[in-house]
Amino acid sequence: MLAYLILMTFPVAMAFAAANDLFTMKIPNRISLALIGGFVAIAVMTRMPLESFGIHVAIALGVLAATFVLFWMNMLGGGDAKLMAAGALWMGPDHIIEFLAYVTAFGGVLAVAMLAYRSFLPANAFPLPGWARRLHKTGEGIPYGIAIAAGGLLLFPETAFFRALAF
């Protein structure tokens, strides 16, 4: 039972991050910290070898460094950078390339959808809630946490953690 609860950390945290980013354009640090804590718990529960644990951590740190460069260049939000690294921690060497590819592809689709939303849907045509009006403003950014969560959720059932604990 405990294994299932810990296993659910990833999908629940990713879904919460995506929703929070959509509605507030912020991803709280506690989401990334929950993902890190869940990873450590799963690693202990599955008796992950220390070498494998280190590889997962090294990949996550590499992703964090790369995404912080994007943050520094004002191309990605800080919460997005931390969420991407926390997601990479769970993906490890087996799925990191796919994770990055899916996040990039979903990010492209999200960007096109946001451009279409901003271009073809008149802002005053419908009584939009505040979060939808904010998304309509040009230059407001894109809730990239949605793309990160989509990429992670698509790959999560393929991870060794899911396969080891879900069946």
**Tokens representing 67?**
């995404």
Distance CA 111, CA 147 (A): 10
Confidence of residue 167 (pLDDT cuts 50, 70, 90): low
Q: In this model, does residue 161 exceed pLDDT 90? A: no
pLDDT in tens, 48-68: 999 999 999 999 999 999 999
pTM of this prediction?
0.92
pLDDT of residue 165: 78
**Tokens representing 153?**
């959720």
Amino acid identity of residue 136, one-letter, is: H
Please state the φ and ψ torsions of residue 18, each to the nearest 5 degrees.
Answer: -60, -45
Provide the percentage of residues in the chain whose pLDDT is more than 90: 72
H-assigned helices in 25-77: 29-45, 50-72
List Cβ neighbours of 156 (8 Å cut-off, separation of 6 or more). Answer: 10, 11, 14, 90, 162
Rounded to an integer, the average pLDDT of 96-112 is 97
Rounded to an integer, the average pLDDT of 94-106 is 98
pLDDT of residue 32: 97
Q: Assign 3-state DSSP to the chain and report helix, strand, coil percentages, each to 5.
A: 80, 0, 20
Rounded to an integer, the average pLDDT of 110-136 is 82
| Structural contact between residues 147 and 110, judged by C-beta atoms closer than 8 angstroms | yes
> How many other CB atoms are found less than 10 A from the CB of residue 4?
9
Write the DSSP symbol of residue 156.
G
Q: Which of 12-21, 64-73, 105-114, 123-132 has the lowest mean pLDDT?
A: 123-132
| Structural contact between residues 17 and 34, judged by C-beta atoms closer than 8 angstroms | no
pLDDT of residue 27: 97
Mean pLDDT, the chain, whole residue set = 92
